[in-house]
Chains A and B, each alone.
Chain A
Amino acid sequence: MASRAIVDANEHQEPIYLDYRGRYDGILGWILSTDHKRIGLMYLAALVVFFLAAMTLGFFMRLEQWTVGQTIVDAKTYNTLFTVHGVIMVFLVVVPGIPATLGNFFLPLQLGAKDVSFPRLNLTSWYLYMIGALIIFLALFTSGGLPDTGWTFYAPYNIRTTTNIPLAVFGVFILGFSSILTGLNFVTTMHQLRAPGMSWFRMPLFCWGLYATGWIQVLATPVLGITMLLVLVEKTMSIGVFDPSLGGDPILYQHLFWIYSHPAVYIMILPAMGIISEIMPTFARRTIFGYKAIAYSSLAIALAGSLVWGHHMFTSGQSYTANVLFSLLTFLVGIPTAIKVLNWVATLYRGAIRIEPPLLYALSFIFLFSIGGFTGLMQGVLNVDVHLHDTYFVVAHFHYVMFGGTVMGLFAGLHYWFPKMFGKMYEKSWANISWALQLIGFNMLYFTMLVMGYNGMPRRYYDHLIEFNAGHQLATVGSWVLIAGILIMFANLLHGLLKGEEADDNPWGGTTLEWSIKGLPPLENFDEIPEVTQGPYDHNPEPEVVK
């Protein structure tokens, strides 16, 4: 696409982003850099650390379920384990996940821009993210210790528990701020900095995903912010509004919490869907099927996703009228989601498919996310939900969506863009092996949990009845396989980063603007801002592949 203004790698007018030396050197050159690519990588580095930490907690949770009764930790510790696992994974990994890492790195590149609209604000977001994380971790060392409420911090238990809730919710508040600033930065960037000729409908679908995400970040996150602040003042200044002993209504806490946290699910998944929309046409070597439908469905998901929070509260004491309404609306979200899935599959139809690691991850995204979606609809049915609520079924469902969806999407994107980010290639055979291990382990772990939940295994219990023991052991073995797959994947990527072969400029034959750059992107991305003359996924008629 576009006029490919290709300059020899050595002759970029500016140094490539990894070599650039500003006023500061070394580590300062990174943590004070306002370059969106460096910021994206800094997010990625932090994110991987948090992910591995929370994964380790998950490993211990699974290990605890190996036998009936206490295996390695007591009930109290187990409560802390699942809370911290959830808080880190949700607020530090999957919510910022794709927008902050790959979004930061590739949004300006895909738009043909030099940077995001507000580079310094972008760096501020990263600092807020790190500060938020630090505050949460501080709870480890302070009186009361880490929270044991679950990642949802439900009232009224959040008032009664002696653990350090104020610090944790304040950390979440700061993280919300970081998320908001990223969102408004991205939305502004897409309004203002698209390359000449790039109309809205020539914008890559990853950007569309980020656009819809940005709006949810801006409009929904403040509600979580105020909720967290209210918990904070309730605990520290007894300005109670949720505490029943002060006339408050704890169900309202759930309303406010899910007004954010349900749309947050779409903050997590929309960018991942964007990545899949990039990968499908590239590896099928044909234009994406239903470009506009996918673009519009991103907005439709953002809208519909803001209408359904009450489906988390069917058993909370919410009115029956609200239950019926929220159940109905929940089914509506299925429509735009299905539009996307069907269009991806249709893109593959009669394509010249090449099986490469990014496509494998993308395909497993579709498979796992579909299971996640369908099990979500099952819980949207009122009478079924009464049976499934707060069981392993729910836990498995949202892991299919958040892990099978968002994290698999992130892995797919990492494998897809790795050569453009680092100029190196990972070992494809090992990438395939790690993918297979992850897919097998994932389903051993979470499909078993679906079945156990359907049979009545409640979530957040550190113990289980003997009937569930076989299932728990199968799931635990699955967790080992899954973790092995993830570790091999990271090791392979790290090896590729350090010792990998030099990658081609465009190894997959991608057609979006980031692939038009020769070698690694220079400091300001494009020596000359490209002129866009066609849609983003035009693989025809020119069979030209940039060598």
Chain B
Amino acid sequence: MHQPTHTHADDHAGGYGIYLKVWLGLIVFTGITVAAAGVDLNSAGLTIALALLIASVKTALVVYFFMHIKYEHLLFKLMLAVCAITFVIFIGLTFFDIAYR
């Protein structure tokens, strides 16, 4: 943790190609989102769950590859988890009010 060096620069195996593949994946998922929105799933909850699931997968792709979390130390992954959990707590506990009013 103390070496202020390029700790990961050399591990970039995939290079340009991997970024292009990820981008292609993102575009495909965007297409799926749009297509899925046209399908009537008979449940508003299910629709939004699907939309959020796809958005989360896209986010994971961006964060993992584009934002280099794949190549970073455990520390960065932990910090990211702390942030995500915090947000889930905030929204989750708020719904203990809203959903039970």
What is the bound-complex CA distance between A306 and B75, given in angstroms? 21
Asked if B83 and A219 make an inter-chain contact with CB atoms under 8 angstroms apart, the answer reads yes
Report A-chain residues with C-beta under 8 Å of the C-beta of B67: none
B interface footprint on A296-334 (CB within 8 Å = 1, 0 otherwise): 000000000011011001000111111001100000000
A interface footprint on B74-86 (CB within 8 Å = 1, 0 otherwise): 0100000011001
Does chain B have a CB within 8 A of A223? yes
Q: Pick the most buried of B89, B97, B100: most chain A CB atoms within 10 A of its CB.
A: B97
Given B1, B2, B90, B96, which contacts A322 in the complex, CB threshold below 8 Å? B96
Report A-chain residues with C-beta under 8 Å of the C-beta of B89: 306-307
Asked if B1 and A319 make an inter-chain contact with CB atoms under 8 angstroms apart, the answer reads no
Asked if A325 and B83 make an inter-chain contact with CB atoms under 8 angstroms apart, the answer reads no
Asked if B82 and A322 make an inter-chain contact with CB atoms under 8 angstroms apart, the answer reads no
Closest to B83 in A: A219
Asked if B100 and A319 make an inter-chain contact with CB atoms under 8 angstroms apart, the answer reads yes
Asked if A259 and B75 make an inter-chain contact with CB atoms under 8 angstroms apart, the answer reads no
Name B's interface SS: helix
Does chain A have a CB within 8 A of B94? yes
Whether A259 contacts B96 in the complex (CB less than 8 A), given A192-B2, A219-B83, comes out as: no
Given B1, B82, B83, B90, which contacts A259 in the complex, CB threshold below 8 Å? B90
With both chains docked as a complex, state the minimum distance between the C-beta of B39 and any C-beta of chain A, in angstroms.
29
Report B-chain residues with C-beta under 8 Å of the C-beta of A325: 93, 96
Name A's interface SS: helix
Report A-chain residues with C-beta under 8 Å of the C-beta of B4: 192
Asked if B97 and A318 make an inter-chain contact with CB atoms under 8 angstroms apart, the answer reads yes
Whether A191 contacts B100 in the complex (CB less than 8 A), given A219-B86, A255-B94, comes out as: no
Report A-chain residues with C-beta under 8 Å of the C-beta of B90: 223, 259, 306
Q: How many residues does chain B have at the interface if contact means C-beta atoms less than 8 Å apart?
A: 17
Q: Pick the most buried of A317, A318, A326: most chain B CB atoms within 10 A of its CB.
A: A318
Given A192, A219, A319, which contacts B97 in the complex, CB threshold below 8 Å? A319
What is the bound-complex CA distance between A86 and B86, given in angstroms? 28
Report B-chain residues with C-beta under 8 Å of the C-beta of A223: 90
A-B interface pairs (CB < 8 A), number: 48
With both chains docked as a complex, state the minimum distance between the C-beta of A262 and any C-beta of chain B, in angstroms.
11
Report A-chain residues with C-beta under 8 Å of the C-beta of B2: 192, 196
What is the bound-complex CA distance between A362 and B100, given in angstroms? 44
Asked if A322 and B86 make an inter-chain contact with CB atoms under 8 angstroms apart, the answer reads no
Interface residues of A in 185-201 (CB under 8 A from B): 191-192, 196
Report A-chain residues with C-beta under 8 Å of the C-beta of B86: 219, 306
Asked if B83 and A322 make an inter-chain contact with CB atoms under 8 angstroms apart, the answer reads no
What is the bound-complex CA distance between A320 and B86, given in angstroms? 23
Interface residues of A in 62-114 (CB under 8 A from B): none
Interface residues of B in 56-101 (CB under 8 A from A): 75, 82-83, 86, 89-90, 93-94, 96-101
What is the bound-complex CA distance between A307 and B89, given in angstroms? 7
Asked if B75 and A320 make an inter-chain contact with CB atoms under 8 angstroms apart, the answer reads no
Asked if A322 and B100 make an inter-chain contact with CB atoms under 8 angstroms apart, the answer reads yes
Closest to B1 in A: A191
With both chains docked as a complex, state the minimum distance between the C-beta of A302 and any C-beta of chain B, in angstroms.
10
Asked if A322 and B75 make an inter-chain contact with CB atoms under 8 angstroms apart, the answer reads no
Does chain B have a CB within 8 A of A251? yes
Closest to B2 in A: A192
What is the bound-complex CA distance between A281 and B4, given in angstroms? 35
What is the bound-complex CA distance between A187 and B96, given in angstroms? 32
Report B-chain residues with C-beta under 8 Å of the C-beta of A206: none
Asked if A192 and B1 make an inter-chain contact with CB atoms under 8 angstroms apart, the answer reads yes
Report A-chain residues with C-beta under 8 Å of the C-beta of B94: 252, 255, 259
Asked if B82 and A319 make an inter-chain contact with CB atoms under 8 angstroms apart, the answer reads no
Report A-chain residues with C-beta under 8 Å of the C-beta of B98: 319
Interface residues of A in 177-228 (CB under 8 A from B): 191-192, 196, 215, 219, 223
With both chains docked as a complex, state the minimum distance between the C-beta of B90 and any C-beta of chain A, in angstroms.
5
What is the bound-complex CA distance between A325 and B99, given in angstroms? 13
Report A-chain residues with C-beta under 8 Å of the C-beta of B83: 219
**What are 16 A-B contacts with C-beta separation under 8 Å?**
A191-B75, A192-B1, A196-B2, A219-B86, A259-B94, A306-B86, A306-B89, A310-B93, A319-B101, A321-B96, A321-B100, A322-B93, A322-B97, A325-B93, A325-B96, A326-B93
8 tightest Cβ-Cβ pairs between the two chains A and B: A321-B100, A319-B100, A322-B97, A322-B96, A319-B101, A318-B97, A319-B97, A219-B86
Which residues does B use to contact A, with CB under 8 Å?
A: 1-2, 4, 75, 82-83, 86, 89-90, 93-94, 96-101
* Contacts beyond the supplied A255-B94, A259-B90, A306-B86: 11 A-B pairs with Cβ under 8 Å: A219-B82, A219-B86, A306-B90, A309-B93, A317-B101, A318-B101, A319-B97, A319-B100, A319-B101, A321-B100, A322-B100
